[in-house]
């Protein structure tokens, strides 16, 4: 089979959503003809679809080396740099795209959007000063009045001793909230503020690593990324039961972005936290961050459905989220994975001050907990994402041995079967957004852990949802 035949088969695999197959086919084409810029650029597109932005940048750069006028290669490198929040690098390539295609209005729009992101980052840096009171402490709920025609359940309970409004979330309110969201209605802004402000207070009271036992007669469920797929979240609760005194939940980050019901998921999870704080716990993921929200949709969605102040409140809440959970003293639950150096202990994580740094940045313990991925080979290597590292079975084994753990539970990556047991059984990846972005065809999964600390894996299918596409509110650079 010729290189061109392999490329054509790769194109078909890419269009049908079989991204790993596309990568393999393009790789075979490159082996036969390593001088084709098209093959590298096409493989870059398959890597982009797999969120392997680091290697997409490498392939795009190779394509540019072979053909310095190849517009698609510059564009794909720009998109990849945008995806990992390297906007200045992306800006250089978007300018080149416009230079090569001066009549392309879509390219000009993307250049304009990228310039806005660069200016926004520069402005934020320029005005960075010692902070005053947090926004959650400044919100005056009394000025946000309930309209007479609001048809939802109300939770106003009068005032406390400091003349502040009191809100007590009830099961009736939760039931009404779910029905409102299923029917495309919004929650009143007064209640959105109250829920997020209340959740912030609870998160700030929790340690960086929350330790939850699994008493006899109880179950703890660990869910992976839900990414704004609200109707699939409801399916988990339908199949597995709602949070209760005998059934705790840990949501392992990335509950926002990409899917177009991120607001609904965040509000529901926060409301459940207020209903019974010890029944549900949330970890921070790499998408509970300002830079990712600006690109992948949560910021745009919240501003569209509510307002900018609501997004800033959510941003404050994300900075307060714990970074890890320890279930039954046996399972370390973290969104991304393990560390770039040996010897990190649970005591190091317990002692880590997550409030000293609101955003994870490009290095350090928080970034690694949110961004790293496993690899099948021993040792460590650069991440295919272009951020963080990859770690091998020996790293997981050493971490578990040093800290007396049965295993590490993480999320952060699609698994076609919903979950995957890796690293000689010491590492499990669980992903809870089936048919991710309406395109991947994967199952969703969640893990139930009982008092005996054995894991039970549960797989489920994607559910129908209203005709709103994923990434509907994302920055147009990622369109």
| Catalytic sites, residue numbers | 287
Q: Which of 445, 464, 463, 465 is nearest to 455 (CA)?
A: 445
Identify which of 169, 205, 204, 207 has the alpha carbon closest to the alpha carbon of residue 187: 169
Residue that is written with structure tokens 């050493």 in the block:
398
Centroid of chain to Cα 359: 14
Tokens for 382, please give them: 């650069």
User: What distance in Å separates the CA atoms of residue 406 and residue 332, rounded to the nearest whole number?
Assistant: 8
B/e letters for 315-345, b = 16+ CB within 10 Å, e = fewer, are bbbbbbbbbbbbbbbebbbbbbbbbbeeebe
Residues with Cβ < 8 Å from 144, sequence gap 6 or more? 189, 190, 193
Q: Which residues have CB under 8 Å from 276's CB, separation 6+?
A: 243, 244, 245
Max intra-chain CA distance, the chain: 79
Which of 127, 181, 187, 134 has the alpha carbon at shortest distance from 318? 134
């Amino acid at each position: 089979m010729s290189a061109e035949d392999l490329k054509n088969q790769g194109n078909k695999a890419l269009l049908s959503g079989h991204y790993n197959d596309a990568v393999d086919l393009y790789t075979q084409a490159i082996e036969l003809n390593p001088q084709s810029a098209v093959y590298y650029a096409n493989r870059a597109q398959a890597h982009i679809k797999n969120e392997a932005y680091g290697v997409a940048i490498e392939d795009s750069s190779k394509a540019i080396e072979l053909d310095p006028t190849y517009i698609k290669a510059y564009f794909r490198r720009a998109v990849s740099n945008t995806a990992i929040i390297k906007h200045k690098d992306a800006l250089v390539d978007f300018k080149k795209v416009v230079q090569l295609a001066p009549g392309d209005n879509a390219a000009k729009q993307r250049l304009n959007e990228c310039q806005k992101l660069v200016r926004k980052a520069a402005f934020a840096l320029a005005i960075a000063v010692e902070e005053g009171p947090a926004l959650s402490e400044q919100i005056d709920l009394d000025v946000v009045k309930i309209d007479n025609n609001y048809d939802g359940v109300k939770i106003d309970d009068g005032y406390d001793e400091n003349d502040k409004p009191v809100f007590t979330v009830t099961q009736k309110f939760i039931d009404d909230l779910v029905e409102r969201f299923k029917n495309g209605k919004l929650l009143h802004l007064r209640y959105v503020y109250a829920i997020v402000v209340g959740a912030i207070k609870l998160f700030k009271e929790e340690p960086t690593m929350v330790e939850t036992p699994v008493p006899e007669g109880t179950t703890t469920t660990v869910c992976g990324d839900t990414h704004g797929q609200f109707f699939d979240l409801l399916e988990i609760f339908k199949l597995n039961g709602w949070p209760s005194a005998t059934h705790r939940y840990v949501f392992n980050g990335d509950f926002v972005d990409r899917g177009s019901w991120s607001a609904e998921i965040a509000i529901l999870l926060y409301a459940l936290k207020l209903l019974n704080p010890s029944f549900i716990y949330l970890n921070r993921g790499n998408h509970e961050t300002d830079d990712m929200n600006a690109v992948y949709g949560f910021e745009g969605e919240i501003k569209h459905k509510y307002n900018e102040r609501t997004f800033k409140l959510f941003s404050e809440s994300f900075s307060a989220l714990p970074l890890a959970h320890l279930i039954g003293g046996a399972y370390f639950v973290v969104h991304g994975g393990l560390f770039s150096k040996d010897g990190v202990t649970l005591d190091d994580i317990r002692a880590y001050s997550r409030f000293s740094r609101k955003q994870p940045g490009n290095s350090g313990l928080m970034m690694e907990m949110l961004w790293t991925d496993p690899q099948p080979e021993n040792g460590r290597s650069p991440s295919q994402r272009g951020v963080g590292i990859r770690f091998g079975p020996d790293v997981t084994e050493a971490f578990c041995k040093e800290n007396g753990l049965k295993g590490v539970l993480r999320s952060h990556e699609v698994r076609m079967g919903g979950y995957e047991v890796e690293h000689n059984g010491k590492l499990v990846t669980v992903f809870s957004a089936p048919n991710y972005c309406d395109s991947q065809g994967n199952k969703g999964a969640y893990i139930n852990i009982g008092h005996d600390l054995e894991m039970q894996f549960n797989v489920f299918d994607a559910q129908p949802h209203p005709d709103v596409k994923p990434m509907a509110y994302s920055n147009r650079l990622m369109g």
